[in-house]
Structure 1
Amino acid sequence: MVVRRYDTEGQARFLTFSCYRRLPLLQDPRTRDALAEHLERTRQRLGFRVLAWVVMPEHVHLIVLPADGRIGPVLRGIKQGFGRAMIGRWRKCGAPILDRMMDPRGTTRFWQRGGGYDRNLRDLEEIRTKIRYIHQNPVRRGLVAEAAAWRWSSAHDYGGPNGVVSVWRGWSG
């Protein structure tokens, strides 16, 4: 099945992508820190805006506004670079999880194949709804009692200064 993407300049995108086989590859706080840092470097390099984000133990949610409307380079920049770096790091230390990350062809995968879930957000209310959804994800999972307590999320950025990932608040929210 081919996933159709509607690259529309000026339109925010709600993205979800998961670790291979929904393995909790982002369980370790150091791995989540590394992903947040990688997201910020990729944001700076490609020039897209981040409206909201959260890193969960086995998946990531983002709302981004690509500079030119194209989401493909954003997804590749985030997923490929980080996945390769983590696989390389884990190979050096012989991490046992690598055995579970091998697909039927013998390729080690960090992310589930494909682009994940991708939805164009057409108006401010959709953006607000998805931001609330993203920020409440760790609360719904029982990881924290309040959204702002989850360090790997933009929830705390909306109440104070930016954290590791620079969040663009100029979307009129």
Structure 2
Amino acid sequence: MLAGMDQSAHHRPAQGHAGLRRGRRSIAGHVYLVTFVTRDRRPLFSDPAMAHDMARAITDKRLWYRSRLMAWVLMPDHWHGLIELGAMETLPVCVQRLKANTSRSFRVGRQHDGVWAPGFHDRAMRSSDDLRAAARYVIANPLRAGLVDEIGKYPYWDAVWLGNGCLADRPER
């Protein structure tokens, strides 16, 4: 036992996702790199019709009335996004709203036992972090995964720096 360490039961770290969140704060105006996966890592979005529908749901303006989606990519079995947290919003609530509403929208007319796995991973971007570099990392996921040889060939991503709206709203290639 390390000196000065209290090993009593009430000081043990919490298990699961709640334990990861303990002591973390959501700060309005900060940007977070967020990742979450599909239930059982099923590649639901390998199907272009499902990916297109989910991309539309993810970018629904009604989900982003407090926080701002700065960059995102939908992969076959997971999602990455840069989220600027709005006033009076916590990151867990923002992600829960995103997952719940996209799941509800996605299930319409489909038989699925759930789209997203519980929990999410996040990393707070420091003020010195280059957000455009983080956005490049996010949207380059299809390249690194070998899904395409140039990002312009992958339709399920967007970034605010493009200034031309959601790629999910464009005709499929």
TM-score, normalised with respect to structure 2: 0.74
Query: Of residues 134, 147, 154 in structure 2, which corresponds to 1:150?
Result: 154
Taking every aligned residue pair, what percent have the same amino acid on both sides?
26
The higher-RCO structure (CA 8 Å, 6+ apart) is: 1
Tell me which structure has the larger Cα radius of gyration. 2
Instruction: State the alpha-carbon separation in 2 of the partners of residues 65 and 120 from structure 1.
Output: 10
Give 1:85's aligned amino acid: S
- With over 3 angstroms needed to count, the CA separation of the structure-2 counterparts of 1:124 and 1:43, relative to structure 1, is farther
- 1:56 paired residue number: 75
Matched, 1:17 2:20: no
Matched, 1:85 2:90: no
Query: Of residues 119, 126, 134 in structure 2, which corresponds to 1:130?
Result: 134
Instruction: State the alpha-carbon separation in 2 of the partners of residues 82 and 139 from structure 1.
Output: 25
Instruction: State the alpha-carbon separation in 2 of the partners of residues 45 and 145 from structure 1.
Output: 31
Q: What do the CA deviations read for 1:100-148 (whole angstroms, capped 9, x no partner)?
A: xxxxxxxx2321112x111111125352332121111001111111123
Instruction: State the alpha-carbon separation in 1 of the partners of residues 167 and 150 from structure 2.
Output: 19
- With over 3 angstroms needed to count, the CA separation of the structure-2 counterparts of 1:84 and 1:165, relative to structure 1, is same
Q: Secondary structure at the match of 1:89?
A: coil
Give the conservation status (yes or no) of the 8 Å contact 1:21–1:112. yes
Instruction: State the alpha-carbon separation in 2 of the partners of residues 8 and 88 from structure 1.
Output: 34
Give 4+ residue runs of structure 1 displaced > 6 Å after superposition. Answer: none
- With over 3 angstroms needed to count, the CA separation of the structure-2 counterparts of 1:19 and 1:59, relative to structure 1, is same
Q: Secondary structure at the match of 2:59?
A: helix
Give 1:58's aligned amino acid: D
Structure 2: state its 5+ residue gaps: 1-14
Give 1:112's aligned amino acid: A
Q: Secondary structure at the match of 2:82?
A: strand
Structure 1: state its 5+ residue gaps: 92-97, 99-107, 167-173
Instruction: State the alpha-carbon separation in 2 of the partners of residues 117 and 10 from structure 1.
Output: 19
Note the aligned Cα RMSD (angstroms).
2.4
Q: Secondary structure at the match of 2:129?
A: helix
Structure 2 matches for 1:1-173, cutoff 5 A? 1=15, 2-4=19-21, 5-42=24-61, 46-68=65-87, 69-91=89-111, 98=112, 108-114=113-119, 116-154=120-158, 158-159=161-162, 161-164=164-167
